[in-house]
Amino acid sequence: MLAIILKGLLNKRIALNLLPSRQTVKAYVSGIPEQLGARNRIEVITNCAANDWNNEMIKSTLQSGQEHVARLSDISPSGQIRLLDLSYARIAFGFSLIPVVATPFIVWLHQIGRDARAFWVWAGVFTLVALAVRFLFRRYRRDCAQLGAERAMRDWLPKVHALALLYGFSLSVPVLIMSS
């Protein structure tokens, strides 16, 4: 049943394929997330993909009856790198959007007659930061290819964490500017 869930099929489609009633499928499916320590079927799919779980790992977790909470150390190095890739790409995209987001604020401040220099500085600084983050992303990709997953994770995870903190701070800057 879990293999079918991992394909992304809904209860109705599972019932049509296996010929039990929809209620029977729902009864089977509803217990799987709890057994795997997940909140819902999306989390089941995500955890299985992130952990590179194979059928034997899934079977042993379900048979043991113990809840499994996914930890970074449970994920294979290649799975960890895929997650770090997604995180870094999202951060890089966010940084590149900051100057675009600043534009309406600058226009609005000009229209109401307020000084927009702080927003100009914010947009300018983060244009440069966005370029630097893109440059670092290329280095990150090169290191992943050359160093291997474990070494790249060890070297780049702290850097990506720092970029995430900087990105979070950058999102609070407009509030600080407007409150002054």
User: Counting Cβ atoms within 10 Å, is residue 24 exposed (0-12), middle (13-18) or buried (19+)?
Assistant: middle
Distance, in Å, from the CA atom of 95 to the CA atom of 167, rounded to the nearest integer, reads 7
Average pLDDT for the chain:
78
Q: For position 143, what pLDDT does the model report?
A: 92
Q: For position 165, what pLDDT does the model report?
A: 93
Q: What tokens appear for 129 in the block?
A: 């930061």
Q: Provide DSSP, 96-108.
A: HHHHHHHHHHHHH
Confidence band of 176 (pLDDT split at 50, 70, 90)? confident
Question: Considering Cα of 148, then 149, then 154, then 157, what sign does the dihedral take?
Answer: positive
Which of 13-22's residues contact partners 24+ apart within 8 Å by CB, and which partners? none
Name all domains of the chain by residue range, CATH numbers in brackets.
Answer: 2-73 (1.10.10), 76-179 (no CATH)
For 141-151, the pLDDT digits (tens) are 999 889 988 89
Tell me the angle at which helices 77-111 and 149-179 cross, rounded to the nearest 10 degrees: 20
For 45-74, the pLDDT digits (tens) are 666 666 655 555 555 555 555 555 556 666
Q: What tokens appear for 98 in the block?
A: 């900051």
Q: Provide DSSP, 14-71.
A: HHHHH-S-HHHHHHHHHHHHHHTT-SSHHHHHHHHHHTT--HHHHHHHHHH-------
Q: What tokens appear for 148 in the block?
A: 């291997």
